[in-house]
Amino acid sequence: MATPEKIFELIAEHTTDLVCIHDSENTIRFATPSSKSILGYPAHEIIGKKLTDFLSSDFIDEMDFTTLKRFFDHPETRIRYQVKHGRGQLRWLETTFTYFGKNPQKDFTLLTSTRDITESVHLTDDLMAALSKEQEISRFKSNLYSIASHEFKTPLAVIQANIEMLRIKRSEKVLNNAIGSIEEEVDRLNSMIADMLELKKLTTGQTTFRPDLLDLEELVKEVLEENIRKAYPDTDIQLKPAKKPEKIRADYTLLRFVITNLLGNACKFSDKKDRVIVAVEYDEEDVKMIIQDFGIGIPEEEQASVFKSFYRAKNVGTVQGTGVGLAIVKEFVDLHKGKVGLVSSPGEGSTFTVSLPK
Ligand code: ADP
């Protein structure tokens, strides 16, 4: 039968946790050979040091000094922290502390047992990310249902009312009015559904970013002619041409969405007879698209929120929408490493500026 000394020696030699004995100053006086795998240094190199000497600079930056000191000077049961391993990688460790009674010898005050928990920390991070993605999707779904039941109902009600009317009377005038109005509402429904699908693609990571050389001003013209002027025939939309047009690298589909949404909003939140001014300007590094309207404007306290999905400002009145367009615009501009600026004043109008690096 081995002696108790031999048994302790065997345990110390073979433990996979790092076991250390510290003096009253927390300095390591004894360490098991497992320090080589846990901290990346052989036991004799960590003697005379403190566990805090191995903390990663990122971890130190994140904690304030008093918390850090309390952490190691009056440890409760266990602490988790990040160290720079001898081989240079960052590792997460967990240490438990045990004091040797009330009146310990000066050099032998405290026993610590330390284990590498990097893998479980990463696993937890991955799980948390998956969970928050899951929560985001579930919030998205519940918002979608409430939008669907409110906003989609209005155009459907208009379509329904027109059909009822046609059942009663089918004169040429009624027929033309009803068809016009049904077409308008179908377009509205289509664009709401398109916004929703785009947002779904974004939240589920299916949006693709394929930049190519394109002329921003040409794209603005295309959107104006193909979409906006048809939908808002009474709005006076002026395009101020760029002085020196250049091609930029951007994703055609994503930018087309950005322009359609911002121009559509500018018209939608303006009086029909109002003006909308669009300008494309190039400077040294960026290209800017400036869209100015003279419509209802956005209250200052809501200007940051309008870029969140499903948010609609309080002054929208009966103007229909889902509140997702600007959230998508922001994400799409972010993908281009650009910025969206907003200056707005209620009752006077809004100016949205999209800056994209050339
Ligand atoms: P939607 O137009 O479907 O409501 P958006 O996400 O495009 O959603 O816009 C979010 C909100 O921002 C709008 O509901 C409105 O309150 C505000 N908004 C956006 N553009 C304008 C604008 N040009 N003028 C006034 N308010 C605007």
- At 168, which CATH number? 1.10.287.130
- What's the gap in Å between 303 CA and the centre of ligand 1? 10
Residues 198, 224 share a domain: no
Residues 41, 167 share a domain: no
Check pLDDT > 80 for residue 280.
Answer: yes
- What's the gap in Å between 239 CA and the centre of ligand 1? 21
Task: Give residue 274's pLDDT.
Answer: 86
Residues 167, 242 share a domain: no
Over the chain, what is the mean pLDDT?
88
- At 28, which CATH number? 3.30.450.20
| 193 phi and psi angles, rounded to 5 deg | -65, -40
How far apart are the C-alpha atoms of 47 and 29, rounded to whole Å?
Answer: 5
Residues 258, 198 share a domain: no
Residues 201, 179 share a domain: yes
Residues 320, 183 share a domain: no
pLDDT tens digits for 241-267? 888 888 999 999 999 999 999 999 999
Question: What is this structure's pTM?
Answer: 0.64
C-alpha angle with apex 228: 227 to 229, nearest 5 degrees?
Answer: 105
Residue 332 lies in a domain: yes
- Among residues 150, 148, 144, the alpha carbon closest in space to that of 327 is found at 144
Domain that holds residue 59: 4-116
- Enumerate residues lining ligand 1, CB below 6 A: 261, 265-266, 269, 293, 295-298, 306, 312-313, 316, 321-327, 350
Check pLDDT > 70 for residue 124.
Answer: yes
User: Using an 8 Å Cβ cutoff, are 162 and 182 in contact?
Assistant: yes
Final residue of a structural domain among 188, 207, 226: 207
Residues 322, 231 share a domain: yes
Residues 346, 229 share a domain: yes
Check pLDDT > 70 for residue 150.
Answer: yes
Atom of ligand 1 nearest to the CA of 313: 16
- Protein residue closest via CA to atom 8 of ligand 1: 323
Residues 221, 85 share a domain: no
Task: Give residue 231's pLDDT.
Answer: 87
| 329 phi and psi angles, rounded to 5 deg | -55, -45
